[in-house]
Amino acid sequence: MTSILTGDIINSRSVASKEWLPLVKTAFKTVGETPKTWEIYRGDSFQIEINKPENALLFAIELKTILKKNKNLDVRIAIGIGSKNDDYKNITEGSGEAFINSGEAFDKLLKKQNLAIISPWQEIDNIFNTAFAIALLTIDNWTVNSADFVAMCLKKPNTTQKLIAKELNISESSASERRKRAGFDEIMQLEKLYRELIIKKTNT
């Protein structure tokens, strides 16, 4: 069981690729090597395997923070969970349930929202596609400051808000306001629920 993320960068043509492409590649390289684990193609489309499906949502959120640090950019991400055939050298040539589910989520569900999932479990899909739609009301409207704050919190999850404020060179009260505006605590609750349910499903 694995997860395949298929996506594309929104408004990529409005921003020079040198401003965002190296950051995306750096994030992808933390997962594995191209082209077996990830590939960027057609300039702004990508596929990447997150081999532990419970980590897929967190990676998607991290990718959102990277792109939304530029006020003109965003990203659409389809998460597909399932089995796969390992007989390929380039991820874009991969096959199996995870690839099919990711492609279907991208083609059908991302017309209405920027984050979606198809898994082997219909009840999971129903829960999280609804939850994602609600969460995206906040995430899709992150400002550059919100994206910076969330990125810092994800990078240093055990750091106090006081130290986060110091890292960002803002007051603690300003950090608290950014936390609220970004919906950080609620989004992390969603990520925790996703992680717990996916682990439960993949272990049964």
Q: At residue 94, does pLDDT exceed 90?
A: yes
Amino acid at 99: F
Q: What is the mean pLDDT of residues 6-12?
A: 97
Q: At residue 77, does pLDDT exceed 90?
A: yes
Q: What is the pTM of this model?
A: 0.95
Which pLDDT belongs to residue 204? 79
Residue 29 belongs to what H/E stretch?
A: helix 21-29
C-alpha distance from residue 95 to each of 3, 60, 99, 103, 170 (Å): 12, 21, 6, 11, 47
DSSP 159: S
Task: Tell me the β-bridge partners of 40.
Answer: 46
Which pLDDT belongs to residue 86? 84
Q: What is the mean pLDDT of residues 165-179?
A: 94
Q: What is the mean pLDDT of residues 35-46?
A: 96
pLDDT band of residue 87 (cuts 50, 70, 90) is confident
Contacts of 184 (CB under 8 A, 6+ apart): 149, 150, 153
The owner of tokens 């990078």 is 155
pLDDT band of residue 48 (cuts 50, 70, 90) is very high
Nearest to 92 by CA among 40, 24, 27, 31: 40
